[in-house]
Structure 1
Amino acid sequence: MHLRSFTASLFSFILINLSNAQWNTKDFMKREHSLIKPYYGSGIDIPFWQFTGNTIVTPNHIRLTDDSQSKRGALWNSVPVSVRHWDLQVQFKVHGKGKDLFGDGFAIWYAKEPMVDGTIFGSKDYFQGLAIILDTYSNHNGPHNHQHPYISAMINNGSLHYDHDRDGTHTQLAGCEAKFRNMDYDTHLSVKYEGDVLTVSTDIENKAAWKECFQVKGVKLPTGYFVGLTATTGDLSDNHDIMSVRLFELDSPNNQIDEDRSNIVPSATFFEPPRDHIEDPKPSSLSGIKIFLLMLLGSIAVVACVVIGIMFYQKHQEKSRKRFY
């Protein structure tokens, strides 16, 4: 009787510990770098987070921009990330009324200087750190070999310019197409930095499973930078909604020795080969009416030339006949 009781107790103890082991992985989530609904109303501070621009806070999501022109919003974590290996998971939704024309997109940041307004989807150009850019701008700039929406990564030490007119393809580490816009459900993105390897994955098919977008080795990022999310609209627009942000601390790889990364400069050993910087064709300064008038005058000139040619030919024929009489 005592043996059965002991066995049952031991079995219950093992089950409890297995259950705790399964859920203990969530203990690695860094709450000071995470953002989980419900949120407070507009104008109320969010612990550990700051928002600027046209950002709107609702109980269920944080809207960086609404679906209207010339908007800019930002959401930044106010606590620097001290862990070296991490997985940043963002739950989001990009949607709007545009079917063929929409934009511009949003960016996820791990940057040295937070809360700095700028031209790269609402944040600073010549930044230091990592930018994951989710570009939805449907009116393509320059020659491309990919469609939009498009996810890309950029590492910057403060000296590189993001060429917005070329969608940043001259300085990106890697990228992939991802049709995350106007889904009926929320979409997810994982930015994992582990052992100097950057891996970006998506769940845009509502399968609760990650699908790798791209992976880049040889990426060196310092500790002490800030997580942020920014978005912009221009002539084209969309709603850019953030549902949640979770940052998980990862264990150090067994083959890597921990070192002080607080003062290193962001760098990467691999960049995609840059395309030739081809200038976009300049739009014509002529209005539609002027073009029509020029085409009309050109047509009249062609007709006049044909008529004159016929008249000249007829006179030439008459002179030829007179010579025979």
Structure 2
Amino acid sequence: MAAPRMILLFGTIHMVFVHFYPFVVCQDNPADYFKREHSLMRPYTGSGASLPMWDMQGHTMITNNYVRLTPDRQSRQGAIWNKVPNRSPNWEIHIEFNVHGQGKTLFGDGFAVWYTKDRMQMGPVFGSKDYHTGLGIYFDTYSNHNGPHNHPHPYISAQINNGTMHYDHDRDGTHTEIAGCHSPFRNRDHETHVAIRYLGGRLAIMTDIDGKAEWKTCIDVDGIKLPTGYYFGISATTGQLADNHDIISVKTYELEGADKSVDYASLNPSADFFSPPRDHIDDPGGAFRGGWTMSLKNMFLLIFCCVLGFFVCLIVGVLIFQKRQEYNRKRFY
């Protein structure tokens, strides 16, 4: 009876290993694979209000339990950027985070995870610069969309950019994304996790937002090229809508499988596949992003229609009043 039990045990172990291998770091000697210089864990503070190996930007603040990129207040931006460039051709990064706030139906804007050539440059794309060079992963919580996206929010998407592509908030960046998925990570009673793996030209993103220690695939795309020497960063922003964007930990690992014949530092960021483009429709909630997106032409047409409608109602009202007056006079004769 012992032999069948052993066979069953090894079979079970094999199935678990095969199922979870894509997001399990090599365990021969974890110290050889864990990259402390690219990681962030409690206790955060070094000397004073600082983060060892990381720079802070904007409204970022440090507490004992989390690094808050933005508070639940309007018009805030914050970011943390790793000081050390990544030299590993293949890597995996695990981020524990918490996005929460008082808003029930309206909230935003979201945060982004970066692996880019430039660092510490604030801008309009979730607190960092537009037209970046590298990888941007966007956790968009902006809830007032009503356009052609056919997906609910929060929404996670990935963009590979060589410095020439614009991130369009009105379209959630769907015209330049390589892939995306809906992930309701906001206002959870527990911390939420995302795992980002880049291995052999394959970018895979998985989430654990249910507190069950189970990864769910969000994005899995092959044909991605990312060079070494870029920087990891995380940024967040709020506009007229707001949320707390908290980072609890960042754990980065080096993965095996590098091809010694490839000059990874000279690669240009690129992707073989992009999601099909979608027609643009002005975001009806664009004002909540911090600026009114309606063109002057559309605004003039709206005002003209309102004035025209007012005069039509006024004329109809006058005619009805005159008819009633005439009817009343006839009754007395």
Q: Which consecutive segments of 4 or more residues in structure 1 shift more than 6 A?
A: 285-288, 309-313
SS in 2 for 1:36: coil
SS in 2 for 1:94: strand
How many positions carry a matched residue from both structures?
291
Shift of 1:149: 0.3
Aligned twin of 1:18: none
Shift of 1:285: 6.8
Q: 1:263 aligns with which of 263, 266, 278?
A: 266
Alignment of 1:153 with 2:155, yes or no, is no
Deviations 1:132-184 (A, max 9, x none): 00000111163221011000000000111111222111101100000000001
CA distance in 2, matches of 1:46, 1:309: 79
CA distance in 2, matches of 1:189, 1:45: 24
Deviations 1:248-282 (A, max 9, x none): 111107xx665111011100000001112234564
The answer to whether the 8 Å contact 1:41/1:58 transfers is no
Equivalent runs, 1:211-226 vs 2, <5 Å: 211-226=216-231
Q: 1:136 aligns with which of 132, 141, 165?
A: 141
Unaligned runs of 5+ in 2: 1-25, 285-293, 328-333
Equivalent runs, 1:77-226 vs 2, <5 Å: 77-140=82-145, 142-226=147-231
The answer to whether the 8 Å contact 2:44/2:52 transfers is no
Q: State which drifts further: 129-138 or 164-173.
A: 164-173
CA distance in 2, matches of 1:279, 1:236: 18
Shift of 1:239: 0.3
Change (3 A) 1:123 1:307: closer
Aligned twin of 2:315: 301
Q: With structure 1 as the length reference, what TM-score do the two structures score?
A: 0.82
The answer to whether the 8 Å contact 2:205/2:219 transfers is yes
Q: Which has the larger radius of gyration?
A: 1
CA distance in 2, matches of 1:98, 1:260: 48
Unaligned runs of 5+ in 1: 1-20, 314-325
CA distance in 2, matches of 1:199, 1:60: 28
Change (3 A) 1:285 1:185: farther
Over the aligned positions, Cα root-mean-square deviation in angstroms equals 2.9
CA distance in 1, matches of 2:28, 2:148: 48
Deviations 1:90-144 (A, max 9, x none): 0000000110110000000000001111111111111100000000011116322
Aligned twin of 1:238: 243
What letter matches 1:276 in structure 2? D
